[in-house]
């Protein structure tokens, strides 16, 4: 493609193409096999520069209404250029570039909703010249909508990644509700891509328009896993309204969406939405360690998530992992101070100290046994040798208890030595 024609395509300058006699538009390609439509759709027009020539450089960004005006002019000019190019060469609509992308792929990726609608109508018109959509035209449109590029992306995959709701609506308007848009080479479906972005608007449109919308993603994840990783409670709510059984779906590692929310410390509203319909997900352990979402939240130190799960499922704290570790273990591992190393010599010194104390206690005890408290009667007579305190209650208690002390003290010392 000549430089002058490339620049004209990028700027949307139809006059250059009108002035070229005998120009074969279908043969104009860049090294990446982009045709005139690809170039125009992927390039920002320079209409803003012409306005900047009139006003100062800082004037346009300073006034939002002028920015809106410029945007409207750009869209109008782009639509007019593409419509005139397609009137000259309708076959450009179906040409693919080196990546296998049609102009519809590019328009969807950049969020050009008006252009997407124009391309769909132009596809129908290219069949028999009539803009009224009959069965043949609808079939042709559906065929174009389902064209995949080298990464197995359809225009809907591109639109889901862009996040333009109007583009998604336009692409699904003529599609069969039961048509399942399959995953691309990254194993991502349009629904999964929208969920990964946390785009509730696009999710609503896809789920409303497509009854058989596939929800799969890479590594066995679902769209709900993606929404949980995005941390978007609204996206989770929208998905669960149509696909409420996904809360217990596990990926290749056995992780549920709640596991991801617990690990990442997502907003509490995310955890609440995941458990609102079915609390059983809180009791599911993963494949590797058998960790429940609660244990995972404790391991990562996500106290808010841990508290929210416990408030909704208080008895899940009884679950343990494959090693028998429970909530208290993981909380201690994360929150407690490091345990200092104690040397063997220090332990032996402590043990010897305890033995010395025990020996002192034994000495005092046996001394007390030999020496009768209060003394004995020394005067001759019938009471000679009797304790002075023989009639006191405390003395009687001593006489009864000291044999027990004598019995248990050796046992205690033996236990210390044994330990």
CATH of the domain at 72: 1.25.40.20
More confident residue, 378 or 232: 232
Residue 411 located in a structural domain? yes
Confidence check: pLDDT of 53 > 50: no
Confidence check: pLDDT of 135 > 90: no
* Rounded Cα–Cα distance for residues 326 and 318 (Å): 7
- Give the mean pLDDT of 353-366: 66
Q: What per-residue confidence (pLDDT) applies to 386?
A: 67
Among 170, 220, 217, smallest CA distance to 194 is for 217
Domain end call among 175, 191, 216: 175
Domain end call among 175, 202, 236: 175
Residue 266 located in a structural domain? no
- Give the mean pLDDT of 309-322: 91
Distances (CA, A) of 287 to 48, 254, 316: 57, 5, 18
Q: DSSP for 6-43, please give it.
A: HHHHHHT-HHHHHSSTT--GGG---TT---HHHHHHTS
Which residues are within 8 A (CB) of 258 and not within 5 positions of it... i.e. 6 or more apart? 228, 247, 271, 274, 275, 281, 282, 284, 293
Bridge partners, 216 (sequence order): 222
Residue 278 located in a structural domain? no
Q: What is the pLDDT of residues 339-349, one digit of tens each?
A: 444 455 655 66
Residue 289 located in a structural domain? no
Say if residue 279 is exposed, middle or buried (CB neighbours under 10 Å; 0-12, 13-18, 19+).
middle
Which residues are within 8 A (CB) of 195 and not within 5 positions of it... i.e. 6 or more apart? 203, 223, 224, 226, 227, 230, 235, 239
Q: Tokens 């998905």 — which residue?
A: 239
| Among 14-18, 255-259, 396-400, the least confident range | 396-400
Residue range of the domain that includes 96: 1-175
Residue 182 located in a structural domain? no
Residue 147 located in a structural domain? yes
pTM of the complete model beyond 0.95: no
Structure token pair of residue 412? 């205690």
Q: Tokens 């999964």 — which residue?
A: 192
Confidence check: pLDDT of 284 > 70: yes
More confident residue, 364 or 46: 364
Residue 102 located in a structural domain? yes
Residue 209 located in a structural domain? no
Q: What is the pLDDT of residues 187-224, one digit of tens each?
A: 999 999 999 999 999 999 999 988 777 888 999 999 99
Length of the chain: 419
- Give the mean pLDDT of 12-30: 87
Domain count of the chain?
Answer: 2
Q: What per-residue confidence (pLDDT) applies to 70?
A: 45
Q: What percent of the chain has pLDDT over 70?
A: 71
53's enclosing H/E stretch is: helix 47-54
Pair 79, 115: CB distance under 8 Å: yes
* Rounded Cα–Cα distance for residues 143 and 161 (Å): 21
Q: DSSP for 173-210, please give it.
A: TTS-TT------TTS--HHHHHHHTT-HHHHHHHHHH-
More confident residue, 25 or 133: 25
Bridge partners, 311 (sequence order): none
Judged by DSSP in three states, 130 sits in coil
pLDDT bracket for residue 231 (50, 70, 90): very high
Q: What is the pLDDT of residues 364-405, one digit of tens each?
A: 666 555 566 666 666 666 666 666 666 677 767 777 766 766
Domain end call among 175, 210, 226: 175
Q: DSSP for 66-104, please give it.
A: HHHHHHHHHHHHHHHHHHHHHHH-GGGGG---TTS--HH
- Distance between first and last Cα of the chain: 90
């Amino acid at each position: 493609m000549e430089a002058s024609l490339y620049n004209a395509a990028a700027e949307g300058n139809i006059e250059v193409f009108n002035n070229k006699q005998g120009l074969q538009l279908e043969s104009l390609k860049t090294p990446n096999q982009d045709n005139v439509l690809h170039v125009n759709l992927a390039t920002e027009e320079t209409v803003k520069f012409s306005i900047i020539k009139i006003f100062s450089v800082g004037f346009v960004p300073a006034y939002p209404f002028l920015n809106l005006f410029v945007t409207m002019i750009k869209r109008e000019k782009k639509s007019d250029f593409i419509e005139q190019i397609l009137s000259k060469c309708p076959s450009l609509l179906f040409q693919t570039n080196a990546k296998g992308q049609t102009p519809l792929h590019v328009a969807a990726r950049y969020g050009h909703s008006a252009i997407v609608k124009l391309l769909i109508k132009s596809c129908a018109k290219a069949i028999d010249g009539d803009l009224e959509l009959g069965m043949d035209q609808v079939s042709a449109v559906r065929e174009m909508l389902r064209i995949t590029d080298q990464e197995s992306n359809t225009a809907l995959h591109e639109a889901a990644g862009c996040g333009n709701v109007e583009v998604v609506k336009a692409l699904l308007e003529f599609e069969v509700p039961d048509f399942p848009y399959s995953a691309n080479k990254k194993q991502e479906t349009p629904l999964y891509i929208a969920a990964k972005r946390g785009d509730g608007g696009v999710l609503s449109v896809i789920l409303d328009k497509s009854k058989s919308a596939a929800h799969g993603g890479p590594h066995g994840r679902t769209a709900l896993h993606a929404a949980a990783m995005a941390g978007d409670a609204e996206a989770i709510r929208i998905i669960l309204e149509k696909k409420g059984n996904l809360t217990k779906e596990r990926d290749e590692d056995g992780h549920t969406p709640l596991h991801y929310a617990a690990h990442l410390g997502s907003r509490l509203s995310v955890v609440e939405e995941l458990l609102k319909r079915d609390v059983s997900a809180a009791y599911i352990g993963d494949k590797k360690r058998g960790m429940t979402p609660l244990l995972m939240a404790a391991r990562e130190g996500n106290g808010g998530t841990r508290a929210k799960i416990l408030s909704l499922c208080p008895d899940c704290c009884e679950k343990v992992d494959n090693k028998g570790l429970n909530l208290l273990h993981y909380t201690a591992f994360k929150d407690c101070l490091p345990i200092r190393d104690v040397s063997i010599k220090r332990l032996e010194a402590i043990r010897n100290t305890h033995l010395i104390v025990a020996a002192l206690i034994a000495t005092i005890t046996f001394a007390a046994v030999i020496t009768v408290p209060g003394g004995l009667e020394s005067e001759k007579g019938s009471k000679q040798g009797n304790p002075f305190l023989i009639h006191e209650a405390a003395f009687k208690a001593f006489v009864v208890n000291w044999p027990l002390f004598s019995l248990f003290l050796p046992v205690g010392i033996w236990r210390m030595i044994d330990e």
